[in-house]
Amino acid sequence: MATRIASDEAGPAVLLIFVDGIGLGPDSATNPFADAPSPALQGLLGGPLCLEQCQVGEQLVLRAIDATLGVEGLPQSATGQTTLFTGINAARHLARHVAAFPGPRLRSLIESHGVMKRAQRGGCRVVFANAFSSEYFELLEQRRRRPSVTVLSAWSAELELLGIDDLVEHRALSWDLCRDLLAKPLARPVPIIQASRAGEDLAGLASECELTVFETFLPDLAGHQRIEIGSREVVGRLDGLVAGLLRFLPDHITVVLTSDHGNFEEPWHKRHTRNPVPLLAFGPQAGRFGDIRCLTGIAPRILQTLGVP
Ligand SMILES: [Zn+2]
């Protein structure tokens, strides 16, 4: 972290990176996080993003936190993400895990308790860093696609979603970091970048805000085998993102990286897992995240860190 850019007198700021579908598994040959090279993560943690590296320090935290939410069955995205982005146990609220996209009851939790909206109401500048194509908005309009928890959270805060122009100008990120998978179905060409460049772009966006949110569902899609990408490539991209952040992120910003449920860490099947998920925090306020045990703890702690009541 010695190379991070110094910024004078900036208040606390948080960059929340939500990585869909990564559990924190053991350091074993079957776990892609242990198997694939990840120099940035390994340099940061002293080893790969695995259970054995759990640690709590003032500027660096890795914890294995519960994503099962005390509810039987495999944890799923709609309830896990709603919990992560509101601090309310959405699986308990519905008495079951709900997959994919939130329905009316989860939407109302997001509307009333969404972390982006509360941070913004508390006076923070908030940005949702993901870029969305016009094709995506058409699908939403035609009801062929439903909005995700992050999109609903951003809408409830009345944030403008960033587009492909922003992406091309390095003022937004692609969910797949390198843009190739995002670009495939698009009518217009989009230049491909390295994942570390995406980290640099994210650092630039985060430097202008108190709360920045970025979402990647690359590992979950890979874990379900819905996209053609090797697990080493997925780890390499996540590691590249971290490398770019370590190099370019201003030093007043604390990174919080977490997930909604396991999946990718067990590549021998295509289902979610009941494994704990990583809560990785690094930066000046990281120690504040050192006692969190469950997905419910993250949104409230982010708001506390930002000084939002
Ligand atoms: Zn999934």
CA of 182 to the centre of ligand 1 (A): 18
What pLDDT is stored for residue 9 in this prediction? 66
Q: What is the DSSP string of 144-206?
A: SS---HHHHHHHHTTPPPEEHHHHHTTSSB-TTSSSHHHHTT-SS------HHHHHHHHHHHH
Task: Indicate if the pLDDT at residue 178 is higher than 60.
Answer: yes
Task: Indicate if the pLDDT at residue 218 is higher than 90.
Answer: yes
CA angle (181 as vertex; 298, 165 as ends), nearest 5 = 80
CA of 80 to the centre of ligand 1 (A): 10
CA of 10 to the centre of ligand 1 (A): 37
CA of 222 to the centre of ligand 1 (A): 9
65 within 8 A of 292, measured Cβ to Cβ: yes
Ion ligand 1: residue ranges with CB closer than 5 A: 220
Q: Are strands 55-56 and 126-128 parallel, antiparallel or unpaired?
A: unpaired
Question: Residue written as tokens 């099962």?
Answer: 68
Task: Indicate if the pLDDT at residue 51 is higher than 80.
Answer: yes
Taking Cα atoms as reference points, which of 70, 71, 49 lies closest to residue 61? Answer: 49
CA of 125 to the centre of ligand 1 (A): 30
Q: From CA 230, how far away is CA 291, in angstroms rounded? A: 34
CA of 220 to the centre of ligand 1 (A): 5
Q: What is the dihedral of CA 292, 49, 230, 179, to 10 degrees?
A: 60
CA angle (79 as vertex; 25, 154 as ends), nearest 5 = 105
CA of 272 to the centre of ligand 1 (A): 6
What pLDDT is stored for residue 309 in this prediction? 84
User: Which residue type occupies 59?
Assistant: Q
Taking Cα atoms as reference points, which of 214, 276, 289, 291 lies closest to residue 245? Answer: 214
Taking Cα atoms as reference points, which of 128, 142, 211 lies closest to residue 175? Answer: 128
CA of 250 to the centre of ligand 1 (A): 32
Average pLDDT across the chain, whole number: 96
Q: From CA 190, how far away is CA 277, in angstroms rounded? A: 33
CA of 306 to the centre of ligand 1 (A): 30
Q: Using one digit for the tens of pLDDT, what is the confidence trace for 238-278?
A: 999 999 999 999 999 999 999 999 999 999 999 999 999 99
Taking Cα atoms as reference points, which of 71, 69, 64 lies closest to residue 81? Answer: 69
**CA distances in angstroms from 261 to 40, 108, 298, listed in the order given:** 23, 22, 14
Per-residue confidence at 10, pLDDT binned at 50, 70, 90? confident
CA of 78 to the centre of ligand 1 (A): 10
DSSP element (H, E) containing 253: strand 253-258
Using the Cα atoms of residue 103, residue 110, residue 211 and residue 154 in order, give the sign of their dihedral: positive
CA of 156 to the centre of ligand 1 (A): 24
Q: Are strands 55-56 and 60-65 parallel, antiparallel or unpaired?
A: antiparallel
CA of 21 to the centre of ligand 1 (A): 6
CA of 275 to the centre of ligand 1 (A): 14
- Kindly state the percentage of the chain with pLDDT values over 70: 97
CA of 241 to the centre of ligand 1 (A): 21
CA of 20 to the centre of ligand 1 (A): 7
What pLDDT is stored for residue 2 in this prediction? 43
Task: Indicate if the pLDDT at residue 93 is higher than 50.
Answer: yes
Task: Indicate if the pLDDT at residue 48 is higher than 90.
Answer: yes
Higher pLDDT, 15 or 186: 15
- Kindly state the percentage of the chain with pLDDT values over 90: 94
CA of 77 to the centre of ligand 1 (A): 6
Q: DSSP 3-state assignment of 216?
A: strand
The token pair at 47 is: 């080893």
What pLDDT is stored for residue 5 in this prediction? 59
